[in-house]
Amino acid sequence: MPASGGLTKETNVSDTASTAEGREHEQHQTVTVKVFAPRKTEPKTFTWDKHMLVGAAASDAAKAFEYPARTPTLVKNDKALNRDQQLVAEGVRDGDELELTDIGGGV
């Protein structure tokens, strides 16, 4: 009977470790950034999967700022990011401050 109790306890420890690893893995798979938008005084904070396409993230931000859907993109350090690339591939990192713009003309 003590062996069974030990197994149960061991399984619980393993489950806890697995859950902690899952949370850590999830944190490494996301990026949290502040996005600023024209004509808005306050930025919004977004947490996106780091493999999300820039265009999808920009569309998400545009909706949150209630801008019409056109061709939004994000700008980092005065450089418009490629809408067809993943956030991580375009160098987006936790804590970055990005700007929302429309490559079709301006938001």
Output the domain CATH number for residue 68.
3.10.20.90
Pairing of the two strands 97-102 and 30-36 = parallel
Whether 15 is in a domain gets the answer: no
Tokens (6 digits) for 49: 């999967």
Q: What confidence score (pLDDT) does residue 105 get?
A: 57
- Copy the structure tokens of residue 89: 């591939």
Interval 53-67 mean pLDDT: 96
* Any domain includes 58: yes
Q: Could you give the CA distance from residue 104 to residue 107 in angstroms, rounded to a whole number? A: 9
- Domain total of the chain: 1
Instruction: Judge whether residue 34 has pLDDT over 70.
Output: yes
